[in-house]
Amino acid sequence: MKLSLLLLLLVSSLRAVAQIGLGGTPNPNAVLDLKSPNKGLLIPRTSTTTRQTIPPVKGLMVYDTTQSSFWYHTGAVWREITDKWQTNGSVLFSNNWIGIQTNSPAYALDVGGSVRAQLNLRSDNDALIERDVHAKNNLYAYNRVGIGTLSPTQPLDVVGNARISENLQVNGNFGIVRSNSSTQLKMSLPSGNLILTLQPNVFFDVTFNMTTFTGTPRVSIAQVVSTGNTWHQIILTVHDVNTTTNTFKVRFYNAGNSTAVFDGTLNLMVVGQP
């Protein structure tokens, strides 16, 4: 009878330990259920020095009184449970804004120093990069980039001197030069191989094709590549520019007193409005 009673008490004790409830009926899914309207759970407290001497147990948790924070063990190292970044510099979280190296962040992320990022940047608004309006040089990106200007009017708008250390290539038959009246200019580079013999005071016209211009080209420059003859007696003049047929003529005039021979290549540069 005594043995039966002992076994009954032992089984009852095991069942009681399976679920423990303090302050009320335990939840059937909880091993330990603590309930209180005005009290909390106080877990073991220890200093940093003592915590580091505790044998490693995965899932072990303590409150570090030195750090004033909760710590848990991963089975390999202690990890702090924290609601903020760890920093050894100046980081401020205020009004949902984060300031790094600044105590008064004015934006969601305000960095008061250099930034290095190994990632792509994307903006769903117009501006991706913007410098303060009081800065000497300003960079804006509203599908346009302005350097030295707050209101770029072109995809790349530079106010001030610019330096390019490599070649500048312009495609699409567009020019790269404008006159002081903001009229865009472009170049046409016709060329031809010629053999001419001219008597004194005689001229001969040669027609060249050119790129389309909306107005009569204002500048024409010629380069003579000769094999050595009397071409230096010949005066070259560009005339009869026709923007309908996109042609112009070069007049070869022998201004000397003897026969002149031109045997070589004539390279021209014509500048006008596109």
Q: What pLDDT does residue 53 have? A: 95
Task: State the average pLDDT over residues 265-274.
Answer: 83
Choose between 232 and 14: higher pLDDT.
Answer: 232
Q: Is 49 helix (H, G, I), strand (E, B) or coil?
A: helix
Q: Alpha-carbon distance 274 to 44, whole Å?
A: 84
Q: Alpha-carbon distance 149 to 130, whole Å?
A: 11
Summarised one tens digit per residue, pLDDT across range 21-33 is: 777 888 888 888 8
Can you say whether the dihedral through the CA atoms of 252, 256, 258, 263 is positive or negative? negative
Residue 115 has a CB neighbour count (10 Å cut-off) of 7
pLDDT confidence tier of residue 85, bands split at 50, 70 and 90: low
Q: What pLDDT does residue 47 have? A: 96
Question: Which residues of the chain form beta strands (DSSP E)?
Answer: 20-22, 32-34, 45-46, 61-64, 69-73, 78-81, 91-94, 97-100, 109-111, 139-141, 145-147, 156-158, 177-178, 184-188, 191-198, 203-209, 219-226, 234-242, 247-254, 260-272
Q: Alpha-carbon distance 92 to 100, whole Å?
A: 7
Return phi, psi of residue 101, to 5°. 60, 25
Q: Is the pLDDT of residue 136 over 60?
A: no
Summarised one tens digit per residue, pLDDT across range 194-217 is: 888 999 999 999 998 888 777 777
Q: What pLDDT does residue 11 have? A: 47
Pair type for strands 156-158 and 219-226 = unpaired
Task: State the average pLDDT over residues 101-116.
Answer: 81
* pTM as predicted: 0.39
pLDDT confidence tier of residue 60, bands split at 50, 70 and 90: very high
pLDDT confidence tier of residue 183, bands split at 50, 70 and 90: low
Q: What is the mean pLDDT of the chain?
A: 78
Class of domain 188-272: mainly beta
Q: What pLDDT does residue 9 have? A: 47
Closest to 250 (Cα-Cα) out of 214, 192, 190, 207: 207
Helix (H) or strand (E) run with residue 7 in it: helix 2-18
Q: Is the pLDDT of residue 239 over 70?
A: yes
Choose between 199 and 220: higher pLDDT.
Answer: 199
Q: Is the pLDDT of residue 10 over 50?
A: no
CA angle 34, 38, 41 (to 5 degrees): 40
How buried is 264 (Cβ within 10 angstroms: 0-12 exposed, 13-18 middle, 19+ buried)? middle
Q: What pLDDT does residue 146 have? A: 79
Spell 70-80 as b/e; 16+ CB within 10 A means b. ebebeeeebee
Summarised one tens digit per residue, pLDDT across range 63-76 is: 999 989 999 999 99
